[in-house]
A and B are shown apart, each in its own frame.
Chain A
Amino acid sequence: MGRRTRCAVAVGVVTLLAVFPLVGVGPYYIRLLNLAGIYVILTLGLNFCVGMAGQISYAQASFFGIGAYASALLTLKTGVSFWAALPLSALVALVFGVLLGLPSLKVGRYYLAIVTIGFSEIVRLVLLNWKEVTYGAEGVKNIPVPTIGTFTLNTDLRYYYLVLTIVLFAVFVSIRIVHSRIGRALHAIRMSDLAAEVMGVNTRYYKILAFALSAFFGGLAGSLIAHYDTYLHANSFNFMESAKILCMLFIGGSGSIEGPIIGAVGLTLLPEWLRFLKDYYMAIYGVGVVLLMGVMPSGIRSLIPQLARFVQRLFTNKQRAVRSEH
Chain B
Amino acid sequence: MVIQLIVNGLAMGFIYALAALGVVMLYNALGIVNFAQGEFATLGAFIAYSLIAEMGVPYPLGFVVTVMIVAAAGVLFERIVYRPLRHKHFLTVIVSTIGVMIFFREFERIVWKPIPRFFPDIFEGRLITIGNVVIVPQHVFIIGVALVLMVSLYLFLNKTSVGAKMRATAQDQETASLMGVDVEKMIVLTFVISACLGAIAGVLFAPIFFITIDMGGTVGLTAFCASIIGGFGSIPGAICGALLLGLVEVFGAAYVSSVYKPAVAFMLMIAFLMFRPRGIFGEKVSVKV
Chain A interface (Cβ < 8 Å from any Cβ of B): 50, 54, 56, 103, 106-107, 109-111, 113-115, 117-119, 121-122, 125, 129, 194, 239-240, 243, 246-247, 250, 254, 279-280, 282-283, 285-290, 293-295, 297
> How far does the alpha carbon of A106 sit from the alpha carbon of B259 in the complex, in Å?
29
Fill in one digit per residue for B86-123: 1 if any A CB lies within 8 Å of its CB, else 0. Answer: 00111111111011111111110110000000000000
Let me know if B99 and A288 touch, CB within 8 A: yes
Which of B91, B109, B274 has the largest number of chain A CB atoms within 10 A?
A: B91
Let me know if A250 and B92 touch, CB within 8 A: yes
Q: Give 18 A-B pairs besides A118-B269, A247-B98, A290-B103 with Cβ atoms closer than 8 angstroms.
A: A56-B90, A56-B94, A113-B33, A115-B269, A115-B270, A117-B221, A117-B266, A118-B270, A119-B270, A125-B263, A250-B91, A280-B106, A282-B102, A283-B110, A290-B96, A290-B99, A293-B85, A294-B85
| Closest partner residue, chain A, to B265 (CB atom) | A118
**Shortest Cβ distance from B168 into chain A, in angstroms?**
24
> How far does the alpha carbon of A239 sit from the alpha carbon of B91 in the complex, in Å?
17
CB-CB under 8 A from B228, the residues of chain A are 111, 114
Among A50, A243, A285, A288, contact of B91 (Cβ-Cβ < 8 Å): A50
Return 25 A-B CB contacts under 8 Å, by A number.
A56-B91, A107-B273, A110-B90, A113-B33, A113-B35, A114-B228, A114-B266, A117-B266, A121-B263, A194-B287, A243-B98, A246-B94, A250-B95, A279-B109, A280-B110, A282-B105, A283-B106, A283-B110, A286-B99, A286-B100, A293-B92, A293-B93, A294-B84, A294-B85, A297-B88
| Closest partner residue, chain A, to B81 (CB atom) | A290
Which of A50, A110, A250 has the largest number of chain B CB atoms within 10 A?
A: A110
Let me know if B99 and A293 touch, CB within 8 A: yes
Let me know if A293 and B96 touch, CB within 8 A: yes
**What 5 pairs between A and B have smallest CB-CB spacing?**
A289-B99, A118-B266, A286-B103, A286-B102, A283-B106
Let me know if B260 and A129 touch, CB within 8 A: yes
> How far does the alpha carbon of A114 sit from the alpha carbon of B102 in the complex, in Å?
18
Chain B interface (Cβ < 8 Å from any Cβ of A): 33, 35, 80-81, 84-85, 88-96, 98-107, 109-110, 217, 221, 224-225, 228, 232, 259-260, 262-263, 265-267, 269-270, 273-274, 277, 287, 289
CB-CB under 8 A from A106, the residues of chain B are 273-274, 277
Let me know if A109 and B90 touch, CB within 8 A: yes
CB-CB under 8 A from A194, the residues of chain B are 287, 289
Let me know if B277 and A289 touch, CB within 8 A: no
CB-CB under 8 A from B98, the residues of chain A are 243, 246-247, 289
> How far does the alpha carbon of A297 sit from the alpha carbon of B86 in the complex, in Å?
12
CB-CB under 8 A from B265, the residues of chain A are 118
> How far does the alpha carbon of A287 sit from the alpha carbon of B103 in the complex, in Å?
6
CB-CB under 8 A from B106, the residues of chain A are 280, 282-283, 285-286
Let me know if A125 and B260 touch, CB within 8 A: yes
Let me know if A110 and B110 touch, CB within 8 A: no
Among B88, B96, B104, B266, contact of A121 (Cβ-Cβ < 8 Å): B266
Let me know if B95 and A246 touch, CB within 8 A: yes
CB-CB under 8 A from B217, the residues of chain A are 239
**Shortest Cβ distance from B88 into chain A, in angstroms?**
6
CB-CB under 8 A from B260, the residues of chain A are 125, 129
CB-CB under 8 A from B225, the residues of chain A are 114, 118
Let me know if B100 and A107 touch, CB within 8 A: no
> How far does the alpha carbon of A239 sit from the alpha carbon of B97 in the complex, in Å?
14
CB-CB under 8 A from A54, the residues of chain B are 91
Let me know if A297 and B92 touch, CB within 8 A: yes
Given contacts A125-B260, A125-B262, contact A114 B100 (CB under 8 A): no
**Shortest Cβ distance from B223 into chain A, in angstroms?**
10
> How far does the alpha carbon of A50 sit from the alpha carbon of B89 in the complex, in Å?
12
Let me know if A118 and B263 touch, CB within 8 A: yes
| Closest partner residue, chain A, to B35 (CB atom) | A113
